[in-house]
Structure 1
Amino acid sequence: MMIKVLLLSVSFATIFACIHVKWNPLYSNRKHLAALVLARGGSKAIPLKNLAKIGNESLLSRSLKVILKVNGFDSIWVSTDNYQIYREVIKSSVNIYWRSAESATDEATSIFAIQQFLVDHPYVNAVALVQCTSPFLKMEYLQQAVTLFTRNECVFSVSRSNNLRWKKVDNELVPLNFDLKNRPRRQDFQEFIENGMFYFSTRKLIENGYLQNLG
């Protein structure tokens, strides 16, 4: 299926919306959009990374303050399996969802954790996954995403990439995204990379195993 792509540039991130050519009126009549932060306690690389501090404030606390300023979320949740994270969350007016041990392992995916959340919250029609490990999250970014999401199946944040990438083939390096004879200027690059700041998706997409839909 053909799709349209809408890019909304902001100072740090670009908000990318997946839009079907045929507009679906259901997108503008969602009943419940839940903001969800996944914050398990068992990170191996950086233990309790969600509680890491910038200045005197944890990443989790900073993100929740931003989310609470946004208009459009019907509920705000932190999904965790850790009591220290729980104690951080109860300082705010945010709901706690105790995730299962199965969804808090190193192997468990974010999609699986969100699917489990949806099973236990059947009234939720769409989820905005916000990752608190993105310290540059701003209220303006989320507010623009909420607006875009009223008529789109998914919205997520990306950053423009102007990196010249190479690939190793048979012990040789070959250019992957540019022509050696016509090296592109920075402003000519049309590549974008996910920056992981947030993902807005419908229940249907998530139940089918996706955060984005490009077809």
Structure 2
Amino acid sequence: MKIKALIAARSGSVRVENKNIRPFAESTLLEIKIDQLKRLSNLDGVVVNSNDCEILSIAEKKGVEVIKREPYYASNTVSMSDVYANMAENMDSDVIVYANCTNPLIKDETIFDIIEFYKNNTDKFDSVNSAHLIKEFLFKDNLPINYDLRYQPRSQDLPNISALNFAVNVISKEKMIECKNVVGIRPYIYNIDQIEATDIDNPIDFEFSEFVYLKTKTGTR
């Protein structure tokens, strides 16, 4: 079973300009993620898929495989389902570990353990997807959806509802093409803590993640 990590790094981020390659903790999110994945002994390789020549050049210098994405699959009009299928079709591996640059706080051991969990449970689940628990009072159309207003619980007693964070997703190439997704038909939702789950989606996320990352790196967290 050949297992490779896939980093998808499209250019053109709107909310945080060039977030994958802008300075972050004396490096970049892209380089940090490549270095992290290269450290994992249960991976057979790392692949960077991008439409951006600078991103691909950085990846090549880091000694990992690169795949140039066709412009259509990097546009703002293509569906993500088609992008997932296209990326999987271009992978030379049996299993894909889809890992985003924008989750820099997830630990090496967490990614390693998620991969091992997938390998040991392929008879039960067709994907393993990182998530985190949402313990908040949720409303839709002015009505609570996870508690009863007449019997408000403590926040810690709210039902366990998980939100995908896409930090790590493990799925076979075949299933990723079939489902056009990194989540299979029989997924296992693997909860991680909220710090590790942090996803950089705006400038505040970027600054927070850099602060925590540097604290962790220096051992002062």
TM-score, scaled relative to structure 2? 0.74
Superposition deviation, residue 144 in structure 1: 0.5
8 Å Cα contact 1:127-1:201 kept in structure 2 = yes
Greater strand fraction, Structure 1 or Structure 2: 1
SS in 1 for 2:150: coil
1:36-87 C-alpha deviation (Å, 9 max, x unpaired): 0001112233332211332211111111111111121112100011122123
8 Å Cα contact 1:42-1:105 kept in structure 2 = no
| Whole-angstrom distance in 1 between the partners of 2:94 and 2:37 | 18
SS in 1 for 2:76: coil
Q: Which has the higher contact order (CA 8 A, sep 6+)?
A: 1
Number of the residue aligned with 2:209: none
Partner letter of residue 2 of structure 2? Answer: H
1:125-150 C-alpha deviation (Å, 9 max, x unpaired): 12111000112122111100110110
1:150-203 C-alpha deviation (Å, 9 max, x unpaired): 0232111111110101122xxxx2112111122222332311111221211112
8 Å Cα contact 1:111-1:206 kept in structure 2 = no
Distance 1:59 1:148, change over 3 A: same
User: Are 1:174 and 2:154 matched, yes or no?
Assistant: no
Partner letter of residue 157 of structure 1? Answer: S
SS in 1 for 2:14: coil
**Runs of 4+ residues over 6 Å off in structure 1:** none
Partner letter of residue 207 of structure 1? Answer: I
Number of the residue aligned with 1:103: 73
Give the RMSD, CA atoms, in angstroms. Answer: 1.8
| Whole-angstrom distance in 1 between the partners of 2:47 and 2:173 | 16
Q: Structure 2, unaligned stretches of length 5 or more?
A: 187-221
Number of the residue aligned with 1:54: 24
| Whole-angstrom distance in 2 between the partners of 1:75 and 1:53 | 25
Q: Structure 1, unaligned stretches of length 5 or more?
A: 1-30
Number of the residue aligned with 1:137: 106
Number of the residue aligned with 1:127: 96
TM-score, scaled relative to structure 1? 0.76
Distance 1:80 1:47, change over 3 A: same
Number of the residue aligned with 1:157: 130
User: Pick from 43, 52, 62: which aligns with 1:92?
Assistant: 62
Superposition deviation, residue 211 in structure 1: 2.0
Partner letter of residue 98 of structure 2? Answer: L
Number of the residue aligned with 1:45: 15
Aligned residue-pair number: 180
Distance 1:213 1:120, change over 3 A: closer
